[in-house]
Structure 1
Amino acid sequence: MRAFRAAVEAHDLDAVEALLADDVVFTSPVVFKPYRGKAVTAAILRAVERVFEDFRYERVIGEADGRDHALLFTARVGDREISGCDFLHLDASGHIDELTVMVRPLSGAQALQVAMAAQFERIAGEAEGSRARTAG
């Protein structure tokens, strides 16, 4: 998905959030239970932006007009190199309704888990603030 990739690469998290469906389901590589909803998913993606260093997409798999896409990436968390994949599914209106992230190796996933756990309170606050702005 070109728009998602371009927004991520431009560090434009508002544009990323605009591409998410209200009922998006985000499946993390380091947490068992999926997260549901645009506010929490956007907050998590903002945290990932803060945690990942040297992030870059290497390749995109999927038909340009298809509803399923895989975006392969590399990044670093601290001194750990990570390779991973963002799996996106688009709903009928073209919004991302499923986002699944997988990473490897295990040591990189563990470093990511520790770094994201340190972001937990900020993620929760950003998600709540976003929900309040949307509801108000």
Structure 2
Amino acid sequence: MNTHHVEAYFKAMSGKETTKLAEHLSESVILQSPVFPDPFEGKETVVKILSGLLATIDSLDVDLTFASDRDVAVFFTIQCDGITVKGNEHIHLDENGLIDFFEVAWRPLPSAVLIQEKLANKLGGQPMRLVPAT
């Protein structure tokens, strides 16, 4: 499978080129985000969430990518106000090579929660807090 759309998508993400994101997504794309419990469905909704993320973070740099048939794994680093998050995505491609599914994971958890708070406030979601057990 050709991974052109994945490569172009991450180039747009790294360059914060939000106007170029939609052309690499299928109409029925599903995003399982690390910062909101429910998945986001549909190109318009996913682009809104991704645009909010890009408006919140300072940078996103791809560290490693590998593919097998219609599945792609991408490992990346996000910087946001001095916070570093390592992330990975399992991406699935439709029959046309467009991204139709993302499952995203971030670590470490305390840093992911700090970015989630910033993003939730921008997008009108519920900010989360990490509270140590007593």
Residue number among 8, 26, 29 corresponding to 2:31 in the alignment: 26
Residue number among 36, 57, 64 corresponding to 1:59 in the alignment: 64
Identity %: 26
TM superposition score normalised by structure 1: 0.80
- Does 2:100 align with 1:97? yes
- Does 2:110 align with 1:107? yes
Unaligned runs of 5+ in 1: 122-136
- CA distance in 1 between counterparts of 2:122 and 2:10 reads 23
- 1:62 partner SS: strand
- 1:118 partner SS: helix
The answer to whether the 8 Å contact 2:33/2:104 transfers is: yes
The number of equivalent residue pairs is 120
Shift of 1:61: 1.7
Residue 116 of structure 1 is matched in structure 2 by: 119
Residue 133 of structure 1 is matched in structure 2 by: none
- Does 2:75 align with 1:72? yes
Residue 127 of structure 1 is matched in structure 2 by: none
TM superposition score normalised by structure 2: 0.81
Unaligned runs of 5+ in 2: 1-5, 125-134
- 2:77 partner SS: strand
- CA distance in 1 between counterparts of 2:82 and 2:26 reads 34
**Residue identity opposite 2:106 in structure 1:** V
Q: Which has the higher helix share?
A: 1
* Range that drifts further, 42-51 or 73-82: 73-82
**Residue identity opposite 1:86 in structure 2:** E
- 1:4 partner SS: helix
- CA distance in 2 between counterparts of 1:16 and 1:6 reads 9
- CA distance in 2 between counterparts of 1:14 and 1:90 reads 20
- Does 2:91 align with 1:88? yes
